[in-house]
Amino acid sequence: MYIIGIIPARMASSRFPGKPMANINGIPMIGHVYLRSKLNKTLDEVYVATCDHQIKDYIELIGGKAIMTASTHERASDRTAEAMLKVEKNINKKIDIVVMIQGDEPMVYPEMINKAVAPMLKQEDILVANLMAAIKTKEEYEDINEIKVVVDKNSFALYFSREPIPSSKKSSNNIIKLKQVCIIPFRRDFLIKFNSLKQTPLEIIESIDMLRVLEYGNKVKMVFTEYDTYSVDTKKDLEKVEKKMKEDKLYKKYMKEIKAIKKT
């Protein structure tokens, strides 16, 4: 199977303008996501999909590959689909699975990508998968920027929300509260079909792509990861990641590569 990673990124974030190029310990955030994703061995190649030349130029500066896309996309999945089709045209080869890796997950680990893809390699009927992780604090549980998810007994998503779910008033302490981690593998044809569908009412209300999958009667396989990840939606999130990153062994590994590039 031919599997690629695509990292959609744009400067015009409504909550944090210029976010992809925000500095985290000497490297723009998009650089962290790209370099960490490249360490994964399941992916045949990794691309950044963007409508901004500033992002494209930086990725190419560090030896990466970037695909220019339209500036009109409302959803990351739209940008990912356009980039995927352009990659296919460039390499003259059909892609089997595309892993959408959000550009605001600067502490992604290569093993997380393997885990997200694994169910799709075992079961052909799984069209899309998502990682999920435990919510560990009340602040995270109540944060509207954190997408919460509830699942069935087979770890298929029942619902996604930016609101706290399940209810904290009635849930017992032994029920783990879960959040979506935006590493999302799609089968190639399903991604194209997904983007041809009209946005759905719940998707619009919650501003969560995966609800479109559920509202049209398809399933989203959720895969648990124990890695601590922190998406960056605000400058406060950025400060938290900066502190965590300094203790991270993976960061130290690719930081050496960046220093070597800067010298040349």
pLDDT at 4: 98
Using CA atoms, how far apart are residues 17 and 134, in angstroms rounded to an integer? Answer: 28
Q: Count CB-CB contacts under 10 A for residue 236.
A: 9
Read off the amino acid at residue 104. Answer: D
Beta strands in 54-128 (DSSP E): 66-68, 97-101
DSSP 167-186: -TTT--TTSPPEEEESEEEE
pLDDT at 12: 84
**Structural domain containing residue 239:** 3-263
Cis, peptide link before residue 166, omega less than 30° from 0: yes
Helix, strand, coil content of the chain in percent (nearest 5): 40, 20, 40
Strand partners, 226: none
Strand partners, 148: 161, 179
* Number of domains present in the structure of the chain: 1
pLDDT at 252: 80
pLDDT at 259: 64
What pTM value is reported for the model?
0.92
Contact 96, 2 (CB under 8 A): yes
Q: What is the CATH number of the domain that holds 148?
A: 3.90.550.10
pLDDT at 260: 64
pLDDT averaged per 10 residues in sequence order, the chain, 264 residues: 96 84 92 94 97 96 95 91 97 97 92 97 97 92 94 97 88 81 96 96 96 98 90 87 86 75 58
